[in-house]
Each structure stands twice: as structure tokens, then as C-alpha cells.
Amino acid sequence: MKDIYCLAIESSCDETSMSIVRNGCDEIATVVVSQIDIHKKFGGVVPEIASRSHIETITIVLDEIFKKANMSIDDIDIIGVTYGPGLIGSLLIGLQCAKTISLVTGKPLIPVHHIAGHIYANNLEKRLEFPLIALVVSGGHTDLVYMDKDYSFKKIGSTLDDAVGEAYDKVAKILGLDYPGGPIVDKYAHMGKDTYDLPYPLDDNTYNFSFSGIKSATFNIVHNERQRGNNIRIEDVCTSFQNRVVHVIVKKTFRALQEYGVKNLIIAGGVAANKGLREALMNGAKERGINLSFPKIEHCTDNAAMIGAAAY
Ligand code: KG4
Ligand code: ZN
């Protein structure tokens, strides 16, 4: 069978990324230009600045990806692009670029849902095996998804309010930590003790999640301590927060695997980089004989290689 080369484009938030992926599983080359340093001083992504930054970067990234892969547009078979969800202005830049290349070259344009991309990041490690449960944990999503075949997504649970990555970033902000806060909270969580009495977030019999309650409870503890003039033990807040969040996510994920009679578990999205979550899932999978797979750390956060994998 002829190899299929995909030029993939991702611009849904604050990363301008392109990748060339062969047959949905071999990453030939990837370029990711992150805007984190630009948004850091605002404590979060500023949509208008993000769109303008994509405009400035995208043609440079396009030149760079072909140089890095030592290929040209003639070697490409399909164009994959994130069509949503994401920041509308940011998405438009990647989409417009992809549509233009497709129009000029006549090569097919494949629209990819951003979360399908996160799920298919796992295909870059090893081909997905079905049926599977995908745990999607990112800055915008917290979902449990059942898949019995390629590109068939049945959502069995979702967050009712904040996404888990969003809760991490907001807790980091109240603690005065940098953006994005998830990786910093994760780092501190491994240095502290579980001393703060935080609630377990939506520890019930559904597959849904809710993180706004634990976020507010964390805010209250921090405010109260500040008002009393007490020192906040940042590491201990992070440990207490992470333990509660990981406990509930892991519990619901393994219950879903059991109830659906599924042996394959994959993790997707930026929070899949979380060390505490990875460790807890690895231990649980080992105990239960579950076949667990993760994307590489650089494929957990936004990148175009995952879009190329899904487009194929
Ligand atoms: O998937 P992603 O790059 O973008 C979205 O599609 O949302 O996820 C970004 C999110 C941010 O909220 C970031 O703080 C979080 O992933 N994140 C982490 C870690 N690394 C990234 N959260 C917790 N622990 C981490 N190690
Ligand atoms: Zn993402």
C-alpha cells in the first residue's frame, strides 16, 4: 500500500504547530511555536494576542516544517487541520492556511476535532486497540470516552463545570504561581504533605466530573490563611489538591473499564503529563491487568503530530 503523508496544522489555542506524519503513526517532523512567554504576564491566554501571534508565526512554521522534514509540498498527500473546539480567532489562522494550501495544490483537506487529535496522539506510540476507554484531561475538557472502533467516540462522562487543567491553572494563580500552573502544581504536589481538608470532587456513581467546588474550597483556604496573617504552605496545598483530584479521576476511570468490560485504557490531553495521575493509573492498571498507554510528554500538550495521526 502507498504511504500517506499528512501535513497537519494545529492553532486552536496558544501553540502554532505543524507536523508531517506518515500513515497516522510515524512522526516525520514537528514544529511547535509556543506563545506561553507572551501570555505569562497576563496570567492566562489573551485570545486577541493569540490570534495576532499565530498570524505572525504561521508562514515561518510552514517553511520550517518542510526544511526540518527535508520534504516539499509535492511529497504531501493530505492536509489535516484542527477545526475546533478552541479560540475562534486562533483556529481561523490555521484553518485559513490549510484551506489555502488545499485550494492551491488540490490535495484533500481533512478537518480534525481537537480532542480526536489528543486521543490519536496515542497512535504515535502504538496503534489503538479496541474496545478502549480514553480518559481526556486537558485545559478545556475532562471526558471519559468509549471507543469500539476507529473514529467512533461515545462520551460516557464529562465535566459539569471547569475542566481539570483549568482548575489546576486557577489554583496555581491564587497561589501566585506562573502560567500555565498545571506542571508547577504537579511539581510542588510531590514536595508537600496532604494536610489541607479539601473535598473529594464529585465522588459519586456517575462518570461525570466537577472541579469548581474543590477550586473554590482551595481559594477559601488560601484567603482565610492570608486574612489571619498565616503562611500558606504552597506545597501542602498542591499535594492536598492533587491527591483529591487524582483519586476521583482514577476511581471513575477504572469503574468505567470494569463496567464496560474493557481492557485497554489510553490517556489524552495536557493533564496526561501529570506525574501523580500517571503513577496512580499505572499502579491501578498493573493491579487489574489493564493495558495502559500514554502519549509522549510532548504529545500530551497541544501539537500538530496528534492532528496528523487523527487526520489519517
Ligand atoms: O491539552 P492542552 O495542551 O490544551 C488544551 O487543549 O486545553 O492542555 C493544557 C492544560 C493546561 O491547563 C496545563 O496547566 C495542563 O494542561 N497541564 C498539566 C500538566 N501539564 C500540563 N496539568 C497538571 N499537571 C501537569 N503536569
Ligand atoms: Zn489541547
Interval 11-33: pLDDT, tens: 999 999 999 999 999 999 999 99
Q: How far is the CA of 166 from the centre of ligand 1 (A)?
A: 8
Q: Which residues lie with the beta carbon below 6 Å from any ligand 1 atom?
A: 13, 138-140, 165, 168-169, 180-183, 186, 269-271, 273-274, 301-302
Cα of 203 from ligand 2 centre, angstroms: 25
* Residues 76 and 197 grouped into a single domain: no
Residues 285, 204 share a domain: yes
In this structure, the residue with its CA closest to atom 13 of ligand 1 is 182
Domain range for residue 271?
A: 129-294
Distance, CA 138 to ligand 1 centroid (Å)? 5
Q: How far is the CA of 1 from the centre of ligand 2 (A)?
A: 32
Report, in this order, helix, strand and coil percent for the chain, each rounded to 5. Answer: 50, 20, 30
Q: Nearest CA to 77 among 117, 108, 46?
A: 108
Mutate to test the pocket of ligand 1, among 15, 138, 173 (most ligand atoms within 8 A of CB): 138
User: Cα(159) to centroid of ligand 1, in Å?
Assistant: 15
Q: Each residue of 201-255: pLDDT tens digit?
A: 999 999 999 999 999 999 999 999 999 999 999 999 999 999 999 999 999 999 9
Residue 292, pLDDT score: 98
- Collapsed DSSP state (helix, strand, coil) of residue 191: coil
| CATH number, domain containing residue 14 | 3.30.420.40
What's the confidence (pLDDT) of residue 154? 98
Same domain, yes or no: 285 and 158: yes
At 88 the pLDDT is: 98
25 burial via Cβ count (<10 Å: 0-12, 13-18, 19+): middle
Confidence of residue 1 (pLDDT cuts 50, 70, 90): confident
For residue 91, how far is the Cα from the chain centroid?
16
Which of 171, 301, 306 has the most ligand 1 atoms within 8 A of CB, as the residue to mutate? 301
Say yes or no: 99 and 164 in one domain: no
Task: Please give the tally of structural domains in the chain.
Answer: 2
Distance CA 271, CA 138 (A): 5
Residues 227 and 146 in one domain: yes
